[in-house]
Chains A and B, each alone.
Chain A
Amino acid sequence: MASSFPTTAAPRRRLGGLLVYLRTMGLFVAAWFIVALNVPNKLLLPSPVDVALALRDSAMDGELFDNAAVSVVRLFVSVVAAAVVAVPLGLAMGRSRLCNDLFEVPVELLRPIAGIAWIPLALFIFGIGHRLPLFIMFYTAFFPLLIGTAAGARTVDERLVAAARTMGVPEHTIMRRVIVPAALPSILVSARLAVAASWTAVVAAELVGAPSGLGYAIEYYRSMLSTPSVMAFIAIIGLCGFLTDRALRRLGAVLTPWAQTEQAR
């Protein structure tokens, strides 16, 4: 988390890091180029130039942006919806033994069933369209958020809660001013896990059963045997995943500046 606290050496270090990045990736692309020259079948391994051209073409006609926007909006909607349910439930489970007893067993029974395993059944229930990927992503994002929130609420320093109670702070204010801020770092870490997991799930869900989105696009171009476009869209999937993770890290640094020590990757 070197970027959280800029020091005088930070800009130079960042520039150095960028140079190393460009050098390594330059070597990688050069190696790819040479290997591609020696693969006679362009369908199997197109050269980086072909991929860059395919990327430019789909960016120019707006198809790239449209599909990426569809997938990212789906990600956003389903993760927010999952958080709206999971965070309050997690807080309740972390703070009340009754809630924990009621919901722990169903959660532990459902959690091991991967969201992706719901795809066939969800295809029956929802059909092909928006609702299938939304459901799969909601489900995938739900459990990390719930577990993380409950763990965060459970490990709040009890002396803080006791101090607030002693001073006559009402219970709902304790929840809002003591427990939520204390659990927030843990909630944000689990949000990053949730986003990463549902980004994987959206690609799978769109690959099998959605008429739009990045997953659909790579599957479409595979059936068209247009390998450069497949690779271009794979790169975009990686880029979107990387950018959403960066955005969440930044959000964590802004919301919980006190908890920016070494975070689990």
Chain B
Amino acid sequence: MKRLMLRLLVPALTLVVWEIAASGSARAPRPSTVMQTAVRMIANGDLLFGLATSLGRVFAGFALASAVAVPLGIAMGSIGALEKNLDPLVETFRPIAAIAILPLVILWLGTGSMSAVTIVAYAAFFPVLINTIAGVKRVEPNLLRAAYSMGVPPMTRMRVVLLPAALPAILVGMRIGLGLAWTAIIAAELAVGAKAGSSGGIGQMMFVFYAYSVELNGIVVCMVAVGIVALILDRVLRELLARAVPWSRA
């Protein structure tokens, strides 16, 4: 009990100091006004709609990235020559932040959902690919040799031996990729909202609060919502990891 109070001491103190410090200004967000705004935004559905729009884009882009990165990673991890020759491309493009290609993507695809999905796919692609390659390469070679010597056909070998052994690493890559994708969508929507057009989503909502309605409480509500969603995504994938591959302690 005492320990619990100790753990909540700093957050509680921060909220109290924030409430008092901000009470002088009419516009500055305070915990109490943020709560009121949050209740209003949840009640009229704005917040949930914005989050759903952003999440839809994240899942679309993430699915796209995984659909390419997992097979490619398995191929690169199991065929040495392929990895050697494709690795320069991966190492060249991996350090380029997804946000950096945003201006280019806007040029090609406009300011709509397609751009956002592309940015998300780019952000999620490399963590999934690299972890898949690493996972496949770390599969115990004796398992593959044993299956080979017993005459198991290649496709079955991949499905029954390779995939289960590499799955923990692949799922870790997906967890990292999904986290990056969620960050990237916020940045993409913010930047797109900053430039032109109406694309929707939680990031653009924040930009509208910033640039047009000057609603600081709304911005804070969005920030907290972004954090909660990030936490839930991470927890869900951790849980998935534990359920899908109980033999791994990743």
**A residues within 8 Å of B by Cβ?**
20-21, 23-25, 28, 43-44, 98, 101-106, 109-110, 112-114, 116-121, 123-124, 199-200, 203-204, 207-208, 214-215, 218-219, 221-222, 227, 230-231, 234-235, 237-239, 241-242, 245, 265
- Which B residues lie within 8 Å of A204 (CB)? 97, 99, 187, 190-191
Report the nearest B residue to A231, measured CB to CB: B104
Q: Note all chain B residues with C-beta closer than 8 A to A218.
A: 100, 103
Q: B residues bordering A, Cβ < 8 Å?
A: 3, 6-11, 14, 84-89, 91-93, 95-104, 106-108, 130, 134, 182-183, 186-187, 190-191, 194, 203, 206-207, 209-210, 216, 219-220, 222-224, 226-228, 230-231, 234
| A-B interface pairs (CB < 8 A), number | 147
Q: Find out whether the CB atom of B187 lies under 8 angstroms from the CB atom of A116.
A: yes
Chain A, Cβ-Cβ closest to B11: A106
Are B6 and A124 touching (Cβ within 8 A)? no
Are A114 and B14 interface neighbours, CB within 8 A?
A: no
Please classify the interface of chain A as helix (H, G, I), strand (E, B), loop, or mixed, using the class held by over half of its residues: helix
* Cβ-defined contact, A222 with B9, below 8 A: no
Enumerate the 5 nearest inter-chain pairs by beta-carbon distance, A residue then B residue, closest first: A241-B95, A222-B103, A113-B227, A238-B96, A120-B210
Given A102-B7, A114-B226, are A28 and B220 neighbors across the interface (CB < 8 Å)?
A: no
Question: Could you list 23 examples of A-B contacts with CB < 8 Å?
Answer: A20-B84, A25-B89, A101-B6, A103-B10, A106-B10, A106-B11, A106-B14, A110-B227, A112-B226, A114-B230, A116-B183, A117-B206, A117-B223, A120-B190, A120-B219, A204-B99, A204-B190, A207-B102, A208-B191, A218-B103, A222-B103, A234-B100, A237-B97
Contact status B7-A207, CB under 8 Å:
no
Partner of A20, one of B88, B97, B227, B234: B88
Given A116-B183, A218-B100, the answer on whether A101 and B7 have CB atoms closer than 8 Å is: yes
- Distance in Å from the Cβ of A2 to the closest Cβ of chain B? 13
User: A112 to B3, alpha carbons, bound, how many Å?
Assistant: 24
Residue of A nearest to B224 (CB): A113
B89, A116: Cβ atoms closer than 8 Å? no
In contact, A121 and B104 (Cβ under 8 angstroms):
no
Chain B residues whose C-beta falls within 8 Å of the C-beta of A110 in the assembled complex:
227
Tell me which residues across on chain A come within 8 A of B106, comparing CB atoms.
Answer: 222
Q: A181 to chain B: closest CB distance in Å? A: 27
A102/B6 in contact, CB under 8 A: yes
CB–CB A20/B85 < 8 A: yes
